[in-house]
Chains A and B, each alone.
Chain A
């Protein structure tokens, strides 16, 4: 049986007319056959590895990069990150670099601005390349994970009170065009703190967002003095689409290093995942693959999971990765494949509502479809407060009922409601105006919890079945009681 290297030798000499150079890694192929969309097809290649990085030299001497998407006999399909304009089939040459795409990792990246493929675009020093890691990462062994259970205070009542974020969670923000998701994300980044008081390092991956949006984030980071704790990856709307495929992976590779090698608490903000998925669809279409729903590839779920699942905590490290991906629901449709598949992978979601936004509420969080799956492990006695869970459930149930009554009122009028139901209606209004709506001002967890109790006083007391155990202890705010007595 011949070994692989023995088989190579004769082939190489056969092909030598088509290639320049002798050693395999420096081999430059001139056998570009086809350019289609973001793809190029290279013929007569020898022993190219799947997923290997590719360097294309154009006739004008500039370089493009790509990766091998498919190997078929002696043909390779290569996806070009920086776009294919200017590539020709006659003079451009292709070199296979023999390894998967890698990203430099180091703590010196904090405070730097990089492009979507991880090359610095600020005026700082070039990266020294001492530690480079495969950007695809590897799945975390479930046995080695630690269940996320540390409460993060974001200062936002709708999150802290009702949909708790914990360290190591992936909690996306589902937004729609024109809604202030970026403002919300920036606010969370500014205010987030764990109860132990440790500060977060932030890895920000911009994918196809506009220059205006990007500079908003930079300004906000600057204002809060957080910029030296932030690594910025910038793939803007006018940057090559396909580059976006790399951006979240580079960002998460850095985040994994900071969290698991350097024991830091890392918050990863990815904006906008919808643009990422569009890029994925573009490549899939160019490859003429069988489409799944709405033209997105059948492997969209798997692909997204390789991004979202890179959040968490692991045994043997004090660090954590908490993800806050932002995604725009096309046409406000939560059943669209992108939010749908995301919701199936992430540990809950924060959903913004156009109706609340129009009424001038900030943050316009529609709490009913919101969810935090890890809430129960992050709250309760010893973590937040014993009544947290019961209180959240009671508020939810009451608001859902009040909201339902609104539809009824639209048909039969408010007078037709029983006096109890009218209380619920009032509760729903007050809940939105006072609990959800808080402006840019952050609230401590205590404030949020007391506000919840305060609102419950609007309801008929016998209906408070879910908080019955705590009514005596927490039913009336100590300060409120004092003022009442004073009167």
Chain B
């Protein structure tokens, strides 16, 4: 049925009347649909219909338009912008319209990207080991798992595309090796199913039910996991001026997050950053599976100097791939670096369309688009989970063969970097993102200047997921986790107040108890919050280790306060090697850490009680 529609649109053939930057006006286009893909000019550049008026269509072109002439033909394809979803996505790097960059370079044997190239996103020759889960006569519905193939360590579930009506399988191939172009099953109405299918990027993929996010998104970064955790299926933004560490934070998240699949979208950022990911990830080990990190990663790269319209599309390409793995029942994290560049792409195209501008030249629909994008995150029961019990507290991402027929839940967690102009967070992209994002991890220029990394400001940042995930921490880490978090936040807040007094009267005017508070806050900042992303040991910190580290600092705080109250002097409390030992705990390997922490706990107690005796 879809094929017929396509055929009728093939007749739409217009000619170019105007060209300005990436925006092209085309006449004789009546019959073309909004957001359909067209081929522009003799070079066949890819473009998308973004405005229709009578028989005049306005097209945003995903490739450089230099050299395009008025009068050149434009052909409608009758299809919206789609991505191909199937085995082979993992470890690939795509441009903003899902062209594989590796193949693009192989085909052209050169380093620069030329125009008009049409390459299949996925490898068509590779054979995949398909094992069917259904047989002829089984009734399947949209989203059902037809069978599986192995994609690296991940069990890639071949799904019946959404929108296919429920019906019986007429033919299905036996287990064996098949390429993406082989039909693996035929349904009663004649629909052929293959290992991959296409899905329009601007349409969220359907799911059975959205769940409350109640499991934390574990990142291995102390300030995030302990102070501002978000939930699996939640979303957060990382705004910060240049040089505050947005990209390093995003890359750390991509490396160490406790999820099955990472989709990393480099949207309008530096080319060298994508290269860094490409060189670093294959060499790094996934802490969960000890496979190369690259094998769980999909990269979408539209660097700043690539065409601006494709930058707008890249975010949607990324999120659609993320949703696809979610539908197989996996937990997926999507990093978008940076959403500001995406917003600017919207602004640029809007400006060329001479639309009435909103704030700072951004189009009035910016807020709507941002909200719609962030709402594609979530923890859901996928369509495939027909046989699964719905239980809120089930562990995500079960990949055992026994339940491949339908995983209980999948999730897409989104973390968007925001690059506010001039570091000023009152600008439209930050403000509009804040209205939809549940986590706010504010990067701070002052902290970055002091080389306090991650430069996440603990007074400005917040999370809205605390109430939902606190139960998980209580059950899985420690019952007193919430109290300890609150105490730590209290000390850090107290430090700010004390520092204001110090600014006026000098540190000597403070009583000893407050000097002690300042010292403990310093320990929290330096020995707990600071985490060097390039340190071999400390780059990733387990939740348990985070808790132990926090506990020992708080123990030191309690014991020393008590000692002070009992008359010990501040200098005698601070004397000795204990603080230095606490400071080096975070870079201690996990095995020795457990022993050291125990030792230090008794050391702290011994030191303080000895003071009391004196």
Min CB distance A186 to B, Å, is 26
**Interface members, chain A 105-135 (any B CB < 8 Å):** none
Q: Is the CB of A139 within 8 A of B69?
A: no
Q: Is the CB of B271 within 8 A of A48?
A: no
Known contacts A140-B111, A145-B275, A260-B111; is-contact A369 B347 (Cβ 8 Å): no
List of B residues within 8 angstroms of A97 by Cβ: none
- Kindly name the residue among B17, B19, B111 whose own CB sees the greatest number of chain A CB atoms within 10 A: B111
23 pairs of residues in contact across A and B, judged by CB atoms under 8 Å: A47-B70, A49-B67, A70-B18, A72-B18, A100-B66, A136-B64, A139-B112, A142-B93, A142-B301, A143-B93, A147-B279, A168-B272, A290-B357, A292-B347, A301-B304, A302-B348, A309-B271, A335-B423, A336-B422, A340-B242, A396-B450, A397-B450, A400-B450
Binds A, one of B212-220, B322-330, B367-375, B502-510: B502-510
Q: Does B261 sit at the interface, judged by CB under 8 A?
A: no
List of B residues within 8 angstroms of A347 by Cβ: 270, 272
Per-residue A-contact encoding for B293-323, CB less than 8 Å = 1, 0 else: 0000000010111101000000000000000
List of B residues within 8 angstroms of A465 by Cβ: 526, 580, 583
- Kindly name the residue among B19, B102, B360 whose own CB sees the greatest number of chain A CB atoms within 10 A: B19
Min CB distance B504 to A, Å, is 7
Known contacts A143-B278, A144-B105; is-contact A312 B272 (Cβ 8 Å): yes
Q: Is the CB of B19 within 8 A of A50?
A: yes
Task: Report the Cα distance A278→B275, complex, angstroms.
Answer: 32
**Interface members, chain B 332-357 (any A CB < 8 Å):** 341, 344, 347-348, 351, 354, 357
List of A residues within 8 angstroms of B241 by Cβ: 340, 343
Known contacts A72-B17, A343-B243, A416-B508; is-contact A143 B451 (Cβ 8 Å): no
List of B residues within 8 angstroms of A302 by Cβ: 268, 304-305, 308, 344, 348
List of A residues within 8 angstroms of B69 by Cβ: 4, 47-50, 71
List of B residues within 8 angstroms of A69 by Cβ: 20
Min CB distance B58 to A, Å, is 12
Q: Does B288 sit at the interface, judged by CB under 8 A?
A: no
The residue from A301, A341, A397, A412 contacting B506, defined by CB atoms under 8 A apart: A412
Q: Does A360 sit at the interface, judged by CB under 8 A?
A: no
List of A residues within 8 angstroms of B73 by Cβ: 1, 4
Known contacts A138-B112, A142-B101; is-contact A4 B344 (Cβ 8 Å): no
List of A residues within 8 angstroms of B354 by Cβ: 290
Task: Report the Cα distance A416→B503, complex, angstroms.
Answer: 11
Residues of A with Cβ closer than 8 Å to B?
1, 4, 7-8, 46-52, 69-74, 99-100, 136-148, 168, 260, 289-293, 297-299, 301-302, 305-306, 309-310, 312, 314-317, 335-337, 340-341, 343-345, 347-349, 368-369, 371, 373-374, 376-377, 389, 393, 396-397, 400-401, 407-408, 411-413, 416-418, 421, 462, 465, 468
- The interface on chain B, measured as residues whose beta carbon lies within 8 A of the other chain's beta carbons, has a size of 80
Q: Is the CB of B275 within 8 A of A147?
A: yes
**Which 8 residue pairs spanning A and B have beta carbons closest together?**
A416-B506, A335-B422, A305-B304, A51-B66, A343-B242, A412-B506, A142-B274, A138-B112
Known contacts A49-B67, A72-B18, A141-B104; is-contact A314 B111 (Cβ 8 Å): yes
Task: Report the Cα distance A52→B422, complex, angstroms.
Answer: 35
Query: B271 — nearest CB in chain A belongs to which residue?
Result: A142
Min CB distance B340 to A, Å, is 8
List of A residues within 8 angstroms of B266 by Cβ: 142
Min CB distance A62 to B, Å, is 27
Task: Report the Cα distance A47→B41, complex, angstroms.
Answer: 12
**Interface members, chain B 5-49 (any A CB < 8 Å):** 13, 15, 17-21, 25, 42
Per-residue A-contact encoding for B431-473, CB less than 8 Å = 1, 0 else: 0000000000000010011110000000000000000000000
The residue from B18, B110, B451, B505 contacting A71, defined by CB atoms under 8 A apart: B18
Task: Report the Cα distance A312→B271, complex, angstroms.
Answer: 9
Q: Does B419 sit at the interface, judged by CB under 8 A?
A: yes
Q: Does B544 sit at the interface, judged by CB under 8 A?
A: no
Task: Report the Cα distance A137→B114, complex, angstroms.
Answer: 10
The residue from A74, A144, A344 contacting B419, defined by CB atoms under 8 A apart: A344
Query: B242 — nearest CB in chain A belongs to which residue?
Result: A343
Query: A374 — nearest CB in chain B belongs to which residue?
Result: B272
The residue from B13, B25, B360 contacting A292, defined by CB atoms under 8 A apart: B360
Q: Is the CB of B507 within 8 A of A73?
A: no
Q: Does B165 sit at the interface, judged by CB under 8 A?
A: no
Q: Does B475 sit at the interface, judged by CB under 8 A?
A: no
List of A residues within 8 angstroms of B490 by Cβ: none
- Kindly name the residue among A70, A148, A401 whose own CB sees the greatest number of chain B CB atoms within 10 A: A70
Per-residue A-contact encoding for B381-392, CB less than 8 Å = 1, 0 else: 000000000000
Task: Report the Cα distance A4→B68, complex, angstroms.
Answer: 12
- Known interface pairs A343-B243, A376-B534; 18 further A-B residue pairs with C-beta atoms within 8 A, sorted by A's residue number: A51-B67, A141-B112, A142-B274, A292-B347, A302-B304, A315-B111, A336-B422, A340-B241, A377-B276, A389-B534, A408-B502, A408-B503, A411-B503, A412-B505, A412-B506, A416-B506, A417-B506, A465-B526
List of A residues within 8 angstroms of B276 by Cβ: 147, 377
Task: Report the Cα distance A168→B70, complex, angstroms.
Answer: 39
List of B residues within 8 angstroms of A136 by Cβ: 64, 66
Query: B279 — nearest CB in chain A belongs to which residue?
Result: A147
Q: Is the CB of B450 within 8 A of A4?
A: no
Task: Report the Cα distance A393→B532, complex, angstroms.
Answer: 11
List of B residues within 8 angstroms of A462 by Cβ: 580
Residues of B with Cβ closer than 8 Å to A?
13, 15, 17-21, 25, 42, 64-73, 93, 101-102, 104-105, 110-114, 241-243, 266, 268, 270-272, 274-276, 278-279, 301, 303-306, 308, 341, 344, 347-348, 351, 354, 357, 360-361, 419, 421-424, 445, 448-451, 502-509, 526, 534, 580, 583-584
Min CB distance A48 to B, Å, is 6
Task: Report the Cα distance A8→B69, complex, angstroms.
Answer: 12
List of A residues within 8 angstroms of B308 by Cβ: 299, 302
List of B residues within 8 angstroms of A99 by Cβ: 67
The residue from A72, A147, A292 contacting B361, defined by CB atoms under 8 A apart: A292
Task: Report the Cα distance A219→B357, complex, angstroms.
Answer: 49
Q: Is the CB of B242 within 8 A of A73?
A: no
Task: Report the Cα distance A305→B267, complex, angstroms.
Answer: 13
Task: Report the Cα distance A316→B534, complex, angstroms.
Answer: 29
Q: Is the CB of B17 within 8 A of A73?
A: yes
Q: Is the CB of A140 within 8 A of B112?
A: yes
Q: Is the CB of B65 within 8 A of A50?
A: yes
Task: Report the Cα distance A260→B347, complex, angstroms.
Answer: 35
Q: Is the CB of B21 within 8 A of A368?
A: no
Query: B16 — nearest CB in chain A belongs to which residue?
Result: A71
Task: Report the Cα distance A411→B503, complex, angstroms.
Answer: 7
List of A residues within 8 angstroms of B25 by Cβ: 72
- Kindly name the residue among A48, A143, A371, A417 whose own CB sees the greatest number of chain B CB atoms within 10 A: A143
Q: Is the CB of B20 within 8 A of A147?
A: no
List of A residues within 8 angstroms of B583 by Cβ: 465
The residue from A8, A70, A292, A374 contacting B20, defined by CB atoms under 8 A apart: A70
Q: Is the CB of B305 within 8 A of A309?
A: yes
List of B residues within 8 angstroms of A368 by Cβ: 449
Min CB distance B434 to A, Å, is 20
Q: Is the CB of B112 within 8 A of A137?
A: yes
Min CB distance A389 to B, Å, is 8
Min CB distance A81 to B, Å, is 16
Q: Is the CB of B301 within 8 A of A73?
A: no
Known contacts A7-B71, A139-B306; is-contact A146 B275 (Cβ 8 Å): yes
Min CB distance B250 to A, Å, is 13
Known contacts A293-B421, A298-B348, A305-B305; is-contact A141 B584 (Cβ 8 Å): no
- Kindly name the residue among A71, A142, A289 whose own CB sees the greatest number of chain B CB atoms within 10 A: A142
List of B residues within 8 angstroms of A340 by Cβ: 241-242, 421-423
Q: Is the CB of B279 within 8 A of A349?
A: no
- Kindly name the residue among A49, A315, A335, A397 whose own CB sees the greatest number of chain B CB atoms within 10 A: A49
Query: B275 — nearest CB in chain A belongs to which residue?
Result: A145
Known contacts A50-B19, A290-B351, A290-B361; is-contact A141 B67 (Cβ 8 Å): no
Task: Report the Cα distance A71→B504, complex, angstroms.
Answer: 64
Q: Is the CB of B505 within 8 A of A145?
A: no
